[in-house]
Amino acid sequence: MRSEDRALARRQLDKRLSPLRNTQSLARPARGWIKAIREALGMTSKQLGMRVGVSQPRITKIEQAEKGGSVTLETLRRTAQAMDCQLVYAFVPRAPLQELVEERARSRAKSILEATSHSMALEDQRADADTDRAHLEQLTRELMEKSGPELWEEE
């Protein structure tokens, strides 16, 4: 994928994910979504089991698995459907994707420049702070323009 295409994809995803940024309002209830919604509907675990096509003890295990974080997406989808709900699955970045890429590019640029700066200092050719900042910004921009897999390589 070209750099321009990746930048466009980031902007489009950021726009779609923006309404979900307030993850506090989406936090799973302490007892889990399945149990919370089932109880709010006034439905017993036996009744939900009948709708899903499993036994009442299986519903209890599903609710426990959700609470423990080990339930499968397929089980969640089937259970949600049985309660006339829609399962919504998304990764919501903690910051806009563009910011994450910029932060990573700046981190990589700092690492690259620190190695160079160390060599220059050994040769008594250290640049001043303004020049260092300018080099950091320039290298950050260059890395962002590429912003391919190499940006995410571990150092």
Q: Looking at residues 24-34, what average pLDDT do you find? A: 89
Task: Tell whether 65 and 107 lie within a shared domain.
Answer: no
In angstroms, what CA-CA distances link 64 with 33, 61, 73, 144? 11, 5, 14, 44
Task: Tell whether 68 and 107 lie within a shared domain.
Answer: no
Task: Tell whether 75 and 102 lie within a shared domain.
Answer: no
Task: Tell whether 60 and 106 lie within a shared domain.
Answer: no
Task: Tell whether 111 and 140 lie within a shared domain.
Answer: yes
Task: Tell whether 105 and 145 lie within a shared domain.
Answer: yes
Q: Which domain holds residue 65?
A: 22-82
* Average pLDDT over all residues of the chain: 89
Q: What is the pLDDT of residue 119?
A: 58
SS3 89: coil
Does residue 47 have a pLDDT over 60? yes
CATH number at 38 reads: 1.10.260
Task: Tell whether 74 and 107 lie within a shared domain.
Answer: no
Q: What is the pLDDT of residue 27?
A: 85
Please state the domain count of the chain: 2
CA gap 56, 59 in Å, rounded: 5
Task: Tell whether 39 and 74 lie within a shared domain.
Answer: yes
Does residue 69 have a pLDDT over 70? yes
- Is residue 9 a part of any domain in this protein? no
Domain-ending residue, one of 40, 55, 82: 82
- Is residue 4 a part of any domain in this protein? no
Q: Render pLDDT for 101-155 as a digit per residue (tens, 0 to 9).
A: 999 999 999 988 887 776 555 555 566 778 888 999 999 998 988 777 888 888 6
- Is residue 88 a part of any domain in this protein? no
For the entire predicted model, the pTM comes to 0.73
Task: Tell whether 72 and 45 lie within a shared domain.
Answer: yes
Residue 145 CA to chain centroid, in angstroms?
22
CA gap 118, 63 in Å, rounded: 56
**DSSP 8-class letter at 90:** -
Contact between 93 and 23 under an 8 Å Cβ cutoff? The reply is: no
